[in-house]
Amino acid sequence: MSLVQSALELNGLTLTLESAAGRVNILKGIDLSIQAGERISIVGPSGSGKSSLMMVIGGLERPTGGTVTVAGQTLNSLSEDHLARFRRDHVGIVFQSFHLMGAMTALENVALPMELAGEADAFERARDGLAAVGLAHRLDHYPGQLSGGEQQRVALARAFAPRPRLILADEPTGNLDHDTGEQIIRLMFDQARRHGTTLILVTHDPGLAARCDRTIRLADGRVVEDTAVARAAPGEQKGAD
């Protein structure tokens, strides 16, 4: 797999949702091309459509118009269950509020996507994944017994463990204090770099955006700015430990 292969293609993407108040045009024609291994930050004011864009890319929301191609697959034509399988195989998602399964231990949470894929070594890989985020000693703890930062680390391990090509992270540090957030970001960048994963990160933090390869600014459902960030951002060096 070549590094310059396109990991994500959006062409004329629009999203219109029905709501009680009428139709809302949320995404109004987005064209975007992202290379494999790129680290993208998406910024923009609240309500500009950042989360909606992530959902469309993750196959969680169907676009109203345009095409979405991820890892060579056009999502538009896939059925609900095909989309689910596509996510299982290619996409890892990290949320602002973790979204761990409350009734499952950290280990089970991380193993879950691989179990869904029917992989025999799901638990071993989950153990490795948790070790990679420094939680080797908390395998059997339930989310309720973990701090916010620890929960997000579990969520990170869960997103990365199946080795997806694409990680979608929607304000992953939004619910965490600054230091803990910093720790999560470092882990995320580190893992992405190590596995060559494409990373799309929604953030309100300009400092964080600056550590990515490229920043896309949304406003009112349109891309208003698409800038490559100068190399040698501090995030990279710090990530390499």
Ligand X SMILES: Nc1ncnc2c1ncn2[C@@H]1O[C@H](COP(=O)(O)OP(=O)(O)OP(=O)(O)O)[C@@H](O)[C@H]1O
State residue 127 phi and psi, 5-degree precision.
-60, -45
Site string for ligand X, 158-197 (x = CB under 6 A): ----------------------------------------
Inter-residue contact 135 to 152 (CB < 8 Å): no
The binder of 37, among ligand X, another protein, Mg ion, none, by C-beta within 5 to 8 A per type, is none
Residue 112 interacts with another protein (CB under 8 A): yes or no: yes
Shortest CB 4 distance to another protein, Å = 27
Question: CA–CA separation, 75 vs 196, rounded Å?
Answer: 22
The binder of 24, among ligand X, Mg ion, another protein, none, by C-beta within 5 to 8 A per type, is ligand X
The binder of 87, among Mg ion, ligand X, another protein, none, by C-beta within 5 to 8 A per type, is another protein
The first and second tokens of residue 175, run together, are: 């619910």
Q: In what order do the strands lie in the sheet with 222-228?
A: 91-94, 166-170, 198-202, 39-43, 214-219, 222-228
Shortest CB 66 distance to Mg ion, Å = 20
Between the CA of residue 155 and those of 106, 109, 112, 152, 184, what are the distances in Å?
9, 8, 11, 5, 10
* Residue 215, H or E segment: strand 214-219
Shortest CB 2 distance to ligand X, Å = 32
Q: Restricting to residues 50-89, name those near ligand X by CB under 6 A.
A: 50-52
Considering only 5, 12, 31, 47, the residue that binds ligand X (CB under 6 A) is 47
Question: CA–CA separation, 10 vs 173, rounded Å?
Answer: 26
Question: CA–CA separation, 189 vs 103, rounded Å?
Answer: 29
Q: Restricting to residues 90-109, name those near another protein by CB under 8 A.
A: 93, 95, 97, 99-104, 108
- Within 10 angstroms of residue 110's Cβ, the number of other Cβ atoms is 32
Question: How many residues bind ligand X, per CB under 6 A?
Answer: 12
Toward ligand X, which CB reaches closer, 51 or 105?
Answer: 51
Toward ligand X, which CB reaches closer, 19 or 77?
Answer: 19
Alpha helices in the chain (DSSP H): 50-57, 80-90, 106-116, 122-132, 148-160, 178-195, 206-210, 234-239
Toward another protein, which CB reaches closer, 34 or 168?
Answer: 168
Q: Restricting to residues 69-88, name those near another protein by CB under 8 A.
A: 80-81, 84-88
Inter-residue contact 140 to 104 (CB < 8 Å): no
* Residue 5, H or E segment: none
Considering only 3, 17, 101, 240, the residue that binds ligand X (CB under 6 A) is 17
| Residue found by looking up tokens 């309720």 in the block | 144
List of residues contacting another protein (CB under 8 A): 51-52, 54-55, 58, 60-61, 80-81, 84-89, 93, 95, 97, 99-104, 108, 112-113, 115-118, 158, 170
List of residues contacting ligand X (CB under 6 A): 17, 19, 24, 26, 44, 46-52
